[in-house]
């Protein structure tokens, strides 16, 4: 039996695209998962040209303390963020965050093209990001027990 914990958050930083791609399951990330994300985000935070974030979530979202740690690391930066979710509660929370970061937009899953366009991704970059999102979502789903 595999004793590894089931991940709530998986991510990858695509430095040459100035992009962080984060996928979350139905549960909120643990502090350890969030801190690993913040550590990986470090090189993007230093970019003068700014960075972008794509979030795909099934309902998980950072806690208030986790979000506060992100704001502290961002030091006033306002990256372009696209949140893709079918969960109304997450869209509500994102809309509140958007009051502070006017570069944050929320999208339903059927608005994926608009979400990627809001990040300014070029056509060839969209192909890369689509494959990455599929791989990250597979990591989330393959770790979860299947209903039989």
Q: Where does 9-142 sit in CATH, by number?
A: 3.30.750
What is the distance between the alpha carbons of residues 106 and 28, in angstroms, rounded to a whole number?
18
Residue pLDDT tens, the chain, 148 long: 455 678 999 999 999 999 999 999 999 999 999 999 999 998 998 887 789 999 999 999 999 899 889 888 888 888 999 999 999 888 888 888 888 788 999 999 999 999 999 999 999 999 999 999 999 999 988 756 554 4
What the block records as the tokens of 92 is 């509500």
Q: Closest Cα to residue 84, out of 52, 120, 45, 114? A: 114
What the block records as the tokens of 101 is 């970061």
This prediction's pTM: 0.90
């Amino acid at each position: 039996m595999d004793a590894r914990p089931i991940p709530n958050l998986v991510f990858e930083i695509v430095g040459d695209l100035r992009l962080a791609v984060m996928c979350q399951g139905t549960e909120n990330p643990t502090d350890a998962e969030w801190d690993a994300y913040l550590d990986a985000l470090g090189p993007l935070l230093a970019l003068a040209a700014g960075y972008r974030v794509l979030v795909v979530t099934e309902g998980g979202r950072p806690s208030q303390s986790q979000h506060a740690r992100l704001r502290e690391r961002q030091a006033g930066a306002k990256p372009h963020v696209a949140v893709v979710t079918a969960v109304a509660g997450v869209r509500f929370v994102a809309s509140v965050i958007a009051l502070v970061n006017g570069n944050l937009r929320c999208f339903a899953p059927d608005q994926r093209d608009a979400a990627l366009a809001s990040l300014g991704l070029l056509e060839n970059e969209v192909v890369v990001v689509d494959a990455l999102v599929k791989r990250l979502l597979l990591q989330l789903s393959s770790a979860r027990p299947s209903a039989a």
